[in-house]
Amino acid sequence: MRKTTLLFALLASAAVAVAAPRTEPDSKDSMHVEYLENLDKMLNLWYIRQNVDSTVLTETFDYDSASIIPECPDSVYLARLAKMNTLIELPFNSVVRNYISVYTQRKRSQVGVMLGLTDYYFPIFEEILDSYQLPIELRILPVIESALNPRAVSRVGATGLWQFMYNTGRRYNLQIDSYVDARRDPIAATHAAARYLRDLYEMYGDWTLVIAAYNCGPGNVNKAIRRAGGKRDYWDIYYFLPRETRGYVPAFIAANYAMNYAAEHHITPVQLTLPQTTDTIVVSGRMHLQQVAEVLNVPLQQLRDLNPQYKHDLLPSTTANIIRLPFEHVGAFIDRESEIRSYKDSVFLSPQRIREPLRHKDVDFAAIPGDGSAVRYKVRRGDVLGSIAARYKVTVQQLKSWNGISGHMIREGQTLLIYGKSRS
């Protein structure tokens, strides 16, 4: 597929963020504002109103040799991981410990935001993963891929919650065009990711290798296996993988831990504005999200957050589209769909206009004199429209209209059609 992931960038900035000097706020209000501003800058999320800053994605941090003081003894981490009852093996070592410490200590605010987002996204992921009979713990992948930002775009163009590259998205039947990018659709993209993960498992038969291949592509994993003498254990091929992928599986383990044991580390979910109960409706024909927002009195930003696949707030198809709404507005939408569709339609649904080529549009054929026969005149050096028009007793505007000339430039050797009496 692949690309650099957002959460690695967040982790990479942790050391800088901790060391940076902070000014003391003047009041609780200013402290709250500063908290939100810092959260927005570091997570590029709050909620999903901007793309990922791709310039940050190239930053790296060496978690193999990092010196991070853990909050708990290793025995506590080992016991908690053992209790998680997951199909995918979640081993513990010094690299995993460092990632856990970053999530639970340095990145507490970001983890709190993502915990708030999981109330909305995890039920979607879990239902789809279960339908493909895949391990539920794979729901963590979008956390480390995009920090649960459906509009996230990496520096190499990977897009959406699951960070699909263009070609991979099209291979798994995701619609990508000028109006719709289904890589940003939580439901469509999760179905595609599930199919991709299932295909990778058929290739490797090992979920840890599947997770690594999801990050760097099966080609890089296959090369690492060959370089390791055919060994097929992730930790045996660890140092033969691309540097980013070395941290990907430890990050996956640590993120699973952080999401399960956030309360033990006194991390609380940030309350966000997404409704937990939503439903989808099939809509035939064009419709603009602002039409829905103004008629049903739903915040436009909320509709954008629920339908991030529509790049320009427009449901463009003349056949069928899917729109996701807060559950309490579904009935009103069904009852008032005709009203919504006609509301300011000339403003939001500007009709396509027929634009003929300039030459045919502007020529006044009724003004052509005589029987409509034309004289063909080849432009000579030094000719201008005015002198030719005077020579044939026509106007400059007629010359321009007959020959589709918008300015005043003509070139030597150009043939002009002239409808009128020739010079006597």
Q: What is the set of active-site residues?
A: 145
Long-range contacts of 83-91 (CB under 8 A, 24+ apart): 84/137, 84/256, 84/257, 84/260, 86/135, 86/137, 86/256, 87/135, 87/137, 87/207, 88/135, 88/137, 88/138, 88/207, 88/208, 88/211, 89/207, 89/208, 90/137, 90/253, 90/256, 90/257, 91/235, 91/253
Cα–Cα distances in angstroms (integers) from residue 167 to residues 164, 183, 352, 383, in the given order: 8, 11, 31, 55
Please tell me the distance from the alpha carbon of residue 348 to that of residue 291, in angstroms, as a whole number: 8
Nearest to 399 by CA among 382, 376, 380: 376
Nearest to 276 by CA among 137, 112, 130, 117: 117
Residues 6 or more apart in contact with residue 162 via CB below 8 angstroms: 141, 142, 145, 146, 183, 189, 190, 192, 193
Residues 6 or more apart in contact with residue 19 via CB below 8 angstroms: none
Nearest to 236 by CA among 210, 202, 208: 208
Taking the CA atoms of 235, 247, 154 and 260 in sequence, report the sign of the dihedral they define.
Answer: positive
